Amino acid sequence: MRWMITGSRGQLGLCLQEVLRERKQHEIVLAADLPDLDISDAAALERALRGVPGGADVIVNAAAFTAVDLCESQAALAQAVNGEAPGKLARFAQELGARFVHISTDYVFDGMATLPYAETVKPAPLCEYGRSKLAGEERVWAEKSNALLVRTSSVFGPGKNFVATMLRQAALRRSGEVEAPLRVVHDQRSCPTYALDLAHGIVDLVEKDASGLFHLANDGIASWWDVARTALDLGGFPELAIEKIKTEDLSLPAKRPLFSALDCTKAASIGVALRPWPKALAAYLQSSASPLRDL
C-alpha cells in the first residue's frame, strides 16, 4: 500500500511513518508538513498530492492546529486548518482514487457524560478547537467519501506533549531552578493515548479495510494528575509531590470537557484495541523518543 501523510512531523505523523516502515507491505510516497506543505492552501495541497508519480492508495491527514488555547484567539486559522482542509483532502483523495484517513478528537464532546462516549453520541464542542475539528468531520462526510475517521484523545509521543512537560517541570524542581510546587488538574478525565499505539491501530484499521467513524485510544480513564503522577513515578521522580487543582483554578482561554473518555468497543469488535495507558506510557518512556533523554 502506498501512503501519503500530511502533518508528518507531528506526534502521530512521526509514529505513522515508524509503523509503516516496520510493516513491509507499506510504502510512504509522500510525507509532508509545514512549512513545505500547508494543508490550508488548497492549490499547494492539490499540487503536492497530484505530483506523486503513481499516486497513493491511502492519504492520511495527521496535520492539525492542536494548540487548544491558541485556537480561541485564532479561530479563523483553526477553521481553515482543522475545519476546511480535511474536506478538501477528502475530495482530492476521491479524485485520485485513494482512501482518506482523518483524525479527530474527544474535544468534540461537551464532557457532561458519565460513561465513555460511543461513536453514536451527538457532539457538542465547548471550544474553538473542538468546533473546528467537528467542522472538519462534517466536511469529510459531506464529500460522501468512504473515509476512515478516527477520534482519539490526550496524545503523547515524539514531540511536545503533556508528559514531556511534566517531566521537564519535575527536573526543574529537582535542580532547584523552580521552587513552586507542581500543580495539575484532577477534574478533567480522558483516555491518555500513545501516538505509536494509535498509529498501529490506524494502520490495522486500514489493513482491515475499515471505513466510517471509530473511537481509538489506549485503555483506561485518567485525570491529568493521574498521568503526571504515573509519568513522574516511572520517570524517576517518585518523591516529587504534585498538588491537585481544579480546571477553574487555571483560567485558561479554552473551555475543556471534564469527562471525555472514548468508548472504543466498535474498534475492539473488529480486533483493534490498544493496551492500558500506564503500559503505553512506560513504553514511551523507554523508547528512543522518550523525553527523559532530554533531561
Ligand X SMILES: NC(=O)c1ccc[n+]([C@@H]2O[C@H](COP(=O)([O-])OP(=O)(O)OC[C@H]3O[C@@H](n4cnc5c(N)ncnc54)[C@H](OP(=O)(O)O)[C@@H]3O)[C@@H](O)[C@H]2O)c1
Min CB(26)–ligand X separation in Å:
19
Q: Which of 3, 4, 5, 6 binds ligand X (CB under 6 A)?
A: 6
Which window, 51-59, 153-161, 175-183, 269-277, contacts ligand X (CB under 6 A)? 153-161
Element (H, E) at 86: helix 85-96
- The answer to whether 102 and 140 have CB atoms below 8 angstroms apart is yes
* Residue among 105, 56, 125, 113 at smallest CA distance from 213: 105
Nearer to ligand X, 201 or 240 (CB): 201
284 is an active site residue: no
Min CB(24)–ligand X separation in Å:
24
Task: Return the bridge partners of 242, or none.
Answer: 182
Min CB(54)–ligand X separation in Å:
23
C-alpha Rg value of the chain to the nearest Å: 19
Size, binding site for ligand X by CB under 6 A: 28
Nearer to ligand X, 17 or 169 (CB): 17
Q: Is 209 left (phi over 0), alpha (psi -120 to 50) or beta?
A: left
Per the listing, cell 475499515 goes with 210
Q: Which of 17, 105, 169, 188 binds ligand X (CB under 6 A)?
A: 105
Cα separation, 259 vs 9, whole angstroms: 29
Residue 189: alpha-carbon gap to chain centroid: 16
Give the x-and-dash track for 53-82 against ligand X (CB under 6 A). Answer: ---------xxxxx--------------x-
Q: Does 40 bind ligand X (CB under 6 A)?
A: yes
Per-residue burial over 27-50, b if 16 or more Cβ lie within 10 Å, else e, is: ebbbbbbeeebbbbebeebbebbe
User: What phi, psi does 140 have (nearest 5°)?
Assistant: -65, -45
Q: Which of 46, 113, 118, 159 binds ligand X (CB under 6 A)?
A: 159
Min CB(215)–ligand X separation in Å:
11
Q: Does 153 bind ligand X (CB under 6 A)?
A: yes
The C-alpha cell at 216 is: 481509538
Min CB(65)–ligand X separation in Å:
5
Min CB(177)–ligand X separation in Å:
26
The C-alpha cell at 10 is: 507531528
Q: Does 145 bind ligand X (CB under 6 A)?
A: no
Q: Does 155 bind ligand X (CB under 6 A)?
A: yes
Which window, 149-157, 174-182, 232-240, 262-270, contacts ligand X (CB under 6 A)? 149-157
- The answer to whether 87 and 47 have CB atoms below 8 angstroms apart is no
Cα separation, 172 vs 244, whole angstroms: 19
Sites of contact with ligand X (CB under 6 A): 6-7, 9-13, 33-34, 37-40, 62-66, 81, 103, 105-106, 133, 152-155, 159
